[in-house]
Amino acid sequence: MDFFAAQAQARKRTHRLVLLFILAVLGTVLAGYAAAVFLLNQDPQHGLLIWWDPLLLAWTAGATTVVVGIASLYKWSQLRAGGAAVAELVGGRLVSGATTDPKERRLLNVVEEMAIASGIPMPVVYVLENESGLNAFAAGLTTSDAAVAVTRGLLDKLSRDELQGVIGHEFSHILNGDMRLNVRITAIVFGILVIGLLGRGILQSIGRGRGRSSSDDKKGGGVMVFLAVGLALMIIGYIGYFFGRLIQAAVSRQREFLADASAVQFTRNPEGISGALKKIGGYALEGNIADQHAPEIGHFFFAQAFKTSFSGLWATHPPLAERIRAVEARWDGAVFSPPKIVDIAHESSATAGFGGSPLNGNQAARSSAPLRFKPVEIVADIGALTKAHFRQAQTRLASIPLPLREATRAASTAQVLVYGLLLSDNPASRAQQHALIQKHAGTDSATVLASLDAALRALAPEARLPLLQLAFPVLRELKSTVLARFTTTLDALMHADNRVTPFEYALQKMLQRQLTLAANPRPQLQYDSFGAVRREIAIVLSALAHLSAKNSPAAFAEGTAQIPVIRNQITLLDPDASGLDQLDFALDKLAGSAWPIKQRVLVAAGHVIASDSTITVEEGELYRAIAATLDCPMPMLGLAN
């Protein structure tokens, strides 16, 4: 399933989830009505229950809906801060980019490779330090606020290949739109459960109150009423909870097979993920998570995170044996106990995450050769997990000078690194930019930049956006005042020579979009028809035609031919009507369009800038930035097929 089909499927699953939620709430309402009838609607003369009472039904339905709705909205608001909020809910500790722990560096290295290979911003990484079970999860609302978390047990007991398989599985969830659905499931299940929690709270308060109060007969009658209400709420709540857990399990299970298959496709190493699953099966704790919040997010995890009842009806994951056989058809059924702590002493420093190339003359050559480019194939690669892109990412990361890799680890140096990516090759312009950095960012930043100068000169152009991707986790931490100074400095650097290059625009737009989404990852309004965004499509294709093509009308026509439904309704706009300001507005609106529209726009844009089937590195970076603005993670370009 390609990226766009996966997003459409995730949207359909959301609709089904809403239907299941409505059915669960209806069941809870009926249970609540039955309890209310039993408690309140007895005929005093005949001792019979009056089952039909429209007013009582209305009050019961209204109260249930309000309570469940408020509770669900509360949980949604708690988790909508992004993947970091989910990781911290279960006791996750943020892994610093500056960590010297070899296992944590190895983990960061694997996540970096997969982020670059898949084209998404580097997720923040967490370790569940107090969890010895073997498990992991990815969480977030968008690719820009994603977090990847692993347990200490998984970090200690898995080999690098096995860790790679698990992280590949989690990246599949990131790319297939599963994360937002997972957050919605959590909010819904919590909303249904809260009625039972209210009942339990009432019963606990009665127990505490009885221990402190006298045996007053008058008080006893009131206590019995509250006791009855508490018991009724617990029964009602747990009826809803039963169905909520069924929803959680039903929506989750099938996606695990898809994520396992994607991990194998990504790494081309089925032994990695099957080895991880076998270790989980042979380990006494399996994937169990001790934190009290684990059942709330059990569907997030790589493996079953808690013991289930009802013969596996609540299991959020398929049986381990089924998952292993799906990736290793000839499995003999044997599982094995993992080592107490896996030995990573034999790994090289690069493999463990301490890599980075030395500076040398050969690397300083800044290639500008055109890249092979076929728009349909490139768009088909969006969201893809392939071995070729993974190997390309490993090669690219290994080529980046170590000082620049290290600069992505802290917010202060990451800002300076981004400044450095904008430095001109022209000595006079470069000197002017250094002066601007001194003026706007201060002496400390200028000093750090000077220390990175040699590494920046050695950096290949193709590695600039990957470095930006790696810097996103720490750049997201910038406070508003620091962020304002950072963006002011970037703007000054971009306009130092009174012109904005395609790469400068690409860097600024990509950075702006990712930081905005990370701070406020709300779903945008969906434009479901090409007609609703016809003007914006015309602006994007016109801007690219004027920017990249020698024959703008011909390039524009080649692009519009890819969108036949509006081909005759849009015309090439003048440069003044399709400048950078207009392009900004157009891309922001297109980001709220439906996935099929985004897919066709990217294909059309690719045809505009690549009429000769090749593009320059700068054009490729601009194209990737456009894709990122549309929330379509695009791998690095120039991959030979």
* pTM score: 0.83
Cβ-based neighbours of 505, under 8 Å, separated by 6 or more: 494, 580, 622, 625
Q: Which residues, at least 6 apart from 541, have a Cβ–Cβ distance to it below 8 Å?
A: 556, 559, 560, 570, 572, 604, 605, 608
For the chain, the farthest-separated pair of C-alpha atoms sits apart, in whole angstroms, at 100
For the chain, the distance separating the N- and C-terminal CA atoms, rounded to the nearest angstrom, is 20
pLDDT given at position 513: 83
Give the phi and the psi of residue 13 in degrees, each rounded to 5.
-65, -35
What pLDDT shows up at residue 640? 45
Token pair of 239, please? 């009826």
Per-residue pLDDT of 66-115, as tens digits, reads 888 898 888 888 888 889 999 999 999 999 988 889 999 999 999 999 99
Kindly list the domain boundaries of the chain, sorted by start residue. 1-342, 372-383+508-641, 401-458+460-499
Residue 97 carries which DSSP code? T
Annotated catalytic residue, options 104, 113, 162, 170: 170
d(CA 581, CA 187): 39
Q: Which amino acid is at 624?
A: R
- 317 vs 288: CA distance, rounded Å: 12
Q: Which residues pair with 149 in a beta bridge?
A: 126, 137
**C-alpha pair distances (Å), 121 with each of 222, 470, 612:** 58, 7, 30
Q: Which residues of the chain have pLDDT under 50?
A: 214, 348-355, 359-367, 640-641
pLDDT at position 109: 92
Q: What is the pLDDT of residue 104?
A: 95
Nearest to 165 by CA among 327, 395, 296: 327
- Coil, strand or helix at 105: helix
CA distances (Å), 157 to each of 181, 225, 339, 343, 640, in order? Answer: 30, 54, 6, 9, 36
170 annotated active-site:
yes
Helix (H, G, I), strand (E, B) or coil at 53: coil
Three-class SS state of 159 = coil
Q: List pLDDT tens digits, range 173-191.
A: 888 878 888 888 888 888 8
- DSSP assignment, residue 123? P
